[in-house]
Structure 1
Amino acid sequence: MLGVLGDLLEDHVVWLREPLRAASDTEVTMYRVRGGSAANVAAFAGERHPTRFIGCVGADPEGDRLVAELAAHGVDVRVQRAGRTGSVVVLIDPAGERTMLPYRGAATLLEPVAPEWTDGLAHLHVPAYAFTGEPAGTAAADALRRTAARGGTVSVDASSTGMLRAYGERRFLRLLGTLAPHVLFANRAEAEALARGGGGAGSDGADLRALAGRLPRTTVIVKDGARPTTVFAPGHPPLRIAVPPVDGVRDLTGAGDAFAAGYLTARLTGAGIRAACAAGHATAARVLRTPGASA
Structure 2
Amino acid sequence: MAGDQPAPAVVVVGDVATDVVVLLTGTPAPGSDRSASIATRGGGAGANVAAHLAALGTTVLLAGCIGDDAAGTALAGELAAAGVRLALRTVPGGATGTIVSLVEPDGQRSMLADRGANLALRPADVPPPTPNAHLHLSGYTLLDPGPRDAGLAALAAAVAAGCTVSLDPASTGPLTAYGVERWVSDTAAATLLMPNAEEARLLTGCADLGDAARTLAGVHPVVVVSLGAEGALWAAGDELVHAPAHPATVVDTTGAGDAFVAGVLGAWVVAGGRPDPATALAAGLARAATVVGRAGAR
Q: Using structure 2 for the length normalisation, give the TM-score.
A: 0.90
Relative to structure 1, is the Cα distance of residues 10 and 232 closer, same or farther in structure 2, using a 3 angstrom cutoff?
A: same
Q: Give the stretch that moved more between structures: 130-139 or 165-174.
A: 165-174
Which of 191, 198, 217 is equivalent to 2:200? 191
Partner of 1:13: 21
Matches within 5 A, 1:107-122: 107-113=118-124, 116=127, 118-120=129-131, 122=133
Label 1:128 to 1:114 Cα distance change in 2 as closer, same or farther (>3 A).
closer
8 Å Cα contact 1:109/1:134 also seen in 2:
no
Letter in 1 for 2:170: S
Secondary structure (helix, strand or coil) at the match of 2:195 reads strand
Distance 1:57 1:4, change over 3 A: same
Find the partner of 2:184 among 168, 173, 178: 173
Q: Equivalent residue for 1:260?
A: 261
Equivalent runs, 1:75-94 vs 2, <5 Å: 75-82=84-91, 83-94=94-105
1:128-167 per-residue CA deviation (whole Å, 9 max, x = no partner) reads 1111223311101111111121111101001111221232
CA distance in 2 between counterparts of 1:20 and 1:55 reads 36
Structure 1 counterpart of 2:208, from 200, 204, 211: 204
Aligned with residue 26 of structure 1, among 34, 37, 41: 34
Name the SS of the counterpart of 1:118 in structure 2. coil
Q: How do 1:127-276 and structure 2 match up within 5 A?
A: 127-177=138-188, 180-196=189-205, 202-205=206-209, 207-209=211-213, 211-212=215-216, 214-215=218-219, 217-233=220-236, 235-246=237-248, 248-270=249-271, 271-276=275-280
Query: 1:267·1:273 contact (CA, 8 Å) conserved in 2?
Result: no
Q: CA RMSD in A?
A: 1.6
Contact 1:54 1:117 in 2 (8 A): no
Q: Structure 2: how far apart are the matches of 1:45 and 1:188?
A: 23
Are residues 228 and 112 of structure 1, via their aligned partners in 2, closer, same or farther at CA, if it must alter by over 3 Å?
same
Consecutive unaligned residues of structure 2, counting only runs of 5 or more, are 1-8
Distance 1:132 1:151, change over 3 A: same
Kindly tell me: are residues 154 and 76 of structure 1, through their superposed partners in 2, closer, same or farther at Cα, counting changes over 3 Å? same
> What is the CA-CA distance between 1:174 and the residue it aligns to?
2.1
Structure 2 CA distance for aligned equivalents of residues 287 and 185 of structure 1? 18
* 2:143 partner amino acid: T
2:217–2:223 CA contact under 8 A, matched in 1: no
The answer (yes or no) to whether the contact 2:213–2:223 under 8 Å persists in 1 is: no
Letter of the structure 2 residue corresponding to residue 42 of structure 1? A
Q: 1:210 to 1:275 in 2, by over 3 A?
A: closer
Q: Distance in 1 between matches of 2:215 and 2:95?
A: 37
Q: Secondary structure at the match of 1:79?
A: strand
CA distance in 1, matches of 2:231, 2:23: 27
Preserved CA contact (<8 Å) 2:197 2:226: yes
Q: Which runs of structure 1 show a deviation greater than 6 angstroms over 4 or more consecutive aligned residues?
A: none
| Closer, same or farther: CA 19–168 of 1 in aligned 2, 3 Å | farther
Q: Which residue of 2 aligns with 1:126?
A: 137
Task: Give the corresponding residue for 1:199.
Answer: none
**CA–CA separation in structure 2 for the residues paired with 1:257 and 1:221:** 13
Q: 1:209 to 1:4 in 2, by over 3 A?
A: closer
Amino acid at match of 1:278: A
Could you tell me how far apart the structure 2 residues matched to 1:285 and 1:108 are?
Answer: 30
Q: C-alpha separation between the residues in 1 aligned to 2:148 and 2:132? A: 20
- Structure 1 residues 115 and 9: alpha-carbon distance in aligned structure 2, compared to 1, 3 A threshold: closer
Matched residues in 1 for 2:227 and 2:185: separation? 24
5+ residue gaps, structure 1: 197-201
